[in-house]
Structure 1
Amino acid sequence: MVTLAKVAEAAGVGESTVSRVLRNHGSFSRKTRERVMEAVERLGYVPNRIAGTLASAGSRLVALVIPSLTNIVFADVLRGASGILEENQHQAVFSVTDYDPEKEEALVAAMLAWRPTAVMLAGFEHTEGTVKILRASGCRVVELLDLDGTALDLAVGFSDRAAGAASADFLLRRGYRRIGYVGHDPERDTRAAKRFAGFRETLGAAGIPLVDRENHAGASSVENGRSGLERLLARTPDLDAVYFSNDDMALGGYFHCLAHGIPIPARLALFGHNGLDIGRVTPQPLSTIRTPRVATGQVAAELVVADAPSQVVDLGFELIEGATA
């Protein structure tokens, strides 16, 4: 194993000098840096970041504990956060919970063992154990993509409940009255549940009941959106609009309509959530809510790097009229 001492010996300098060069902190000459970096490259040395963390006051690791990587929403958040963190010499590490709160607790505990400077999580709903260890950790906590709740420390995102309400209001203003819903597991995806709650409350306030709903027990996907709409229409064929828990599900519904010759939106209107790129390039652009996913990651990372005071940052959302509603 190549050690810092071996690099120092190869470069003809002291170990403290090698450390300063690798951290790009402190005084050293250009020639010294060149000698050290040549030795690092020749020997294949990889710095021991954990040892550096234990020897210093804080870590440059930022842990992101996210529900899914198959859902592009979280990939976009990671992309936004990692870019800012890298620019500021922080390292992002992530793990995936599969929307399981118990698994989230175990992963948060595992991440905290590495003494990160911050932990980023999706939403406000966590187990009591997760909340307890986060509060005891002393590190910064950033909750992402949700503002409908009480933040532990920092929160960045938007209100899902408001997004659902805006979606319902849009459909009502367009004259739709027999409205259904196709969604995925509301017990695990609490943000989707909040959107549906806001949607249904807005319909109720207008005196328009939700006619029917179809909930898939598992994760969201294009396939589940297609089969979900098929089952919904088999029960309630006279719907004039369907709200979907997200764009993946809505695109599945769109493909079902194409396959069965159902005119959109003349016969059936479709409305999604997230504003995914693929929804903009379908033959009829999807009517949806565009969410600030990359910006959420960026702002969260900026707050961590700046060691900002506890706060809630509302980035809002944008309603995209599209052509399916």
Structure 2
Amino acid sequence: MELRHQVAVTLAEVAEAAGVGESTVSRVLRSHGSFSDKTRERVMAAVERLGYVPNRIAGTLASAGSRLVAFVIPSLSNIVFPDVLRGASAVLEENRHQAVFAVTDYDPQKEEALVASMLAWRPAAVVLAGCEHTEGTAKMLRASGCRIVELLDLDGEALDIAVGFSNRAAGHASAEFLLTRGYRRIGYVGHDLIRDTRAGKRFKSFCETLGMHDVPLVDREIVAGASSVENGQVGLEQLLARTPALDAVYFSNDDMALGGYFHCLARGIHIPSRLALFGYNGLDIGRVTPQPLSTVRTPRVATGRVAAQLIVENAPSQIVDLGFELIEGATA
């Protein structure tokens, strides 16, 4: 796979595509001055086709010397993304770059709108989570001329630079671990798998791996809304009420798994002899529970740090696989 870093689409290119002068394009984009409806339609069609983003600061940052780095992330309530920002900010500050961020709430349309807003300030780089974006987002990013860094997922087509690990591999490793431990009646508790595409990839790979061993997933509980300790607790309670004979449960992440852990403590369900629990992310709190959580630890801080270093170095397009670590813990 060849990764290419493209130059920004210019006002002149939009003018040429629309068959008008640059001043006319400028008037249309600023909705100021005189122009016909037909001219406006031609200009806006060219803008959309080329993926042009107006420069709101008239070139003050529109250069290779821009030190603004825009992070467009899904959440701040999930510790994963603050950890990424923590790793990146140290490197950016040392190199006199300024980080700004916006939160999408896992909404791809909101991500598209936020990317457009960020690109209008001509950042040196835009950093996003995952490699699934709307067609409009991808078009704008390719046409922006800035560096694009996608984090925490290598299971897809990178636009420029990708740093992280394979979620599919993590799902596979989690299933193999539970199977090796002798568990056969396995269930799943998770959150929105459509919006959180990375969790969806782990779950799909997990189920495929079980199927390869002729051990189909027994049952699942998908809780509406974002992942949280409370949703993990509710999800496991609902799953066990419906399918009480499970011997292991795989959770979409550690937040959910900790909720399941607290449910078991409250109901006197012995872990892991009666029910095994397995999470994902390797959060600090999971290491200090009375029984350390069995999970996959991801290099979140390192992901942010490596991404920031590649940005300040203006490194060539590349894919950096930082891997992950399976933590045996004491809950499985």
Please report the TM-score for the alignment, with normalisation by the length of structure 1: 0.84
From 260, 266, 269, give the equivalent of 1:259: 266
SS at match of 1:181: strand
Tell me what 1:70 maps to.
Answer: 77
| Gap change, CA 1:195 and 1:55, over 3 Å in 2 | closer
Tell me what 2:138 maps to.
Answer: 131
How far apart, in 2, do the equivalents of 1:165 and 1:57 lie? 42
The Cα shift of 1:161 comes to 0.6
Unaligned 5+ runs, structure 2: 1-56
From 207, 211, 234, give the equivalent of 1:227: 234
From 287, 290, 308, give the equivalent of 1:280: 287
Q: Which structure has the larger Rg?
A: 1
How many residue pairs get matched? 276
Q: Does the 8 Å CA contact 2:61/2:123 hold for their aligned counterparts? A: no
How far apart, in 2, do the equivalents of 1:177 and 1:121 lie? 37
How far apart, in 1, do the equivalents of 2:314 and 2:101 lie? 20
How far apart, in 1, do the equivalents of 2:155 and 2:145 lie? 24
The Cα shift of 1:58 comes to 3.0
How far apart, in 2, do the equivalents of 1:142 and 1:53 lie? 23
| Gap change, CA 1:55 and 1:120, over 3 Å in 2 | closer
Matched, 1:147 2:154: yes
Tell me what 2:94 maps to.
Answer: 87
The Cα shift of 1:217 comes to 2.0
Unaligned 5+ runs, structure 1: 1-49
Matched, 1:237 2:244: yes
SS at match of 2:60: helix
Q: CA RMSD in A?
A: 1.1
How far apart, in 2, do the equivalents of 1:250 and 1:303 lie? 34
- Code of the aligned partner of 1:278: I
- Code of the aligned partner of 1:99: Y
Higher relative contact order (CA 8 A, sep 6+): 2
Q: Does the 8 Å CA contact 2:248/2:275 hold for their aligned counterparts? A: yes
The Cα shift of 1:51 comes to 7.9
Matched, 1:186 2:193: yes
The Cα shift of 1:57 comes to 4.2
The Cα shift of 1:53 comes to 3.1
Tell me what 2:215 maps to.
Answer: 208
Matched, 1:323 2:323: no
Deviant stretches of 4+, over 6 Å? none
